[in-house]
């Protein structure tokens, strides 16, 4: 049994929630989100909280109901606070700049990489070597951060590339004479 899945998700004031079949909808100050729960999981809205339980006693249902509860909790956090990821750019001449609705990255290639910012995501560049991605959907914020990082992942010898702010890069020693 999932320990996370047993706890109900409380809905704070200022957030309206509704459960229609397998669809959970949230509306709050940061926008509106919805999540479709797997068929093996039962979702109920009662007493100002959303409760999640497995419909059947299978391994798949056990796995899915903890995940479903975490997704519903992410909906609540997304419409109240939102999510944020920070990326750091390391390397000589590596930098980022906002240009209209796109992010322009100079990452050591012969050309600049231009990343179109998707709808519902806000990107700020306080310094040329720092990117902050903000949005209300944790999956989309993480996906955008992963796509930007994939243009030049950090390499282990000099540490050059785009990395998450809290990521540790295991450094390797170079060639020996």
C-alpha distance across the termini of the chain, in Å: 56
What's the CA angle centered on 140, arms 103 and 125, to 5 degrees? 30
Q: What's the pTM value of the predicted model, to 2 decimals?
A: 0.86
Distance of CA 23 to CAs 37, 41, 115, 130, Å? 6, 11, 32, 37
Pairing of strands 9-10, 23-28: unpaired
- CATH fold match for the domains 3-80 and 83-164: yes
- d(CA 43, CA 55) in angstroms, rounded, equals 9
Alpha helices (H) along 7-159: 59-80, 138-150
- pLDDT per position as a tens digit, 71-81: 999 999 999 99
Give the pLDDT of residue 1. Answer: 59
- Residues 6-15, mean pLDDT to the nearest whole number: 88
- d(CA 88, CA 101) in angstroms, rounded, equals 20
Question: CA nearest 2: which of 74, 50, 69, 47?
Answer: 69
Domain boundaries, the chain: 3-80, 83-164
Domain 3-80: give its CATH superfamily. Answer: Ribosomal protein L6 (3.90.930.12)
Q: Is the pLDDT at 2 greater than 70, yes or no?
A: no
- pLDDT per position as a tens digit, 86-133: 999 999 999 999 999 999 999 999 999 999 999 989 999 999 999 999
Give the pLDDT of residue 163. Answer: 94
**Which fold would CATH assign to domain 83-164?**
Outer Surface Protein A; domain 3 (3.90.930)
CA dihedral angle for residue 161, residue 138, residue 135, residue 96, rounded to 10 degrees: 0
- Residues 7-35, mean pLDDT to the nearest whole number: 89
- Residues 50-54, mean pLDDT to the nearest whole number: 89
């Amino acid at each position: 049994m999932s320990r996370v899945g047993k706890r109900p998700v409380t809905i704070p004031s200022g957030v309206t929630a509704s459960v229609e079949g397998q669809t959970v909808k949230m509306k709050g100050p940061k926008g509106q989100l919805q999540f479709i729960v797997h068929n093996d999981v039962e979702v109920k809205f009662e007493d100002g909280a959303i409760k999640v339980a497995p419909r059947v006693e299978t391994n798949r249902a056990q796995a899915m109901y903890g995940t479903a509860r975490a997704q519903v909790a992410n909906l609540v956090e997304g419409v109240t606070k939102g999510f944020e990821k920070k990326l750091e750019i390391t390397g000589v001449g590596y930098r980022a700049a906002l240009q209209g609705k796109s992010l322009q990255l100079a990452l050591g290639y012969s050309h600049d990489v231009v990343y179109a910012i998707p709808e519902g995501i806000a990107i700020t560049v306080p310094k040329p070597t720092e990117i902050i991605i903000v949005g209300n959907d944790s999956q989309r914020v993480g996906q955008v951060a992963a796509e930007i990082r994939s243009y030049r992942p950090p390499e282990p010898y000099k540490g050059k590339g785009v990395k998450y702010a809290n990521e540790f890069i295991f450094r390797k020693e170079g060639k020996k004479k």
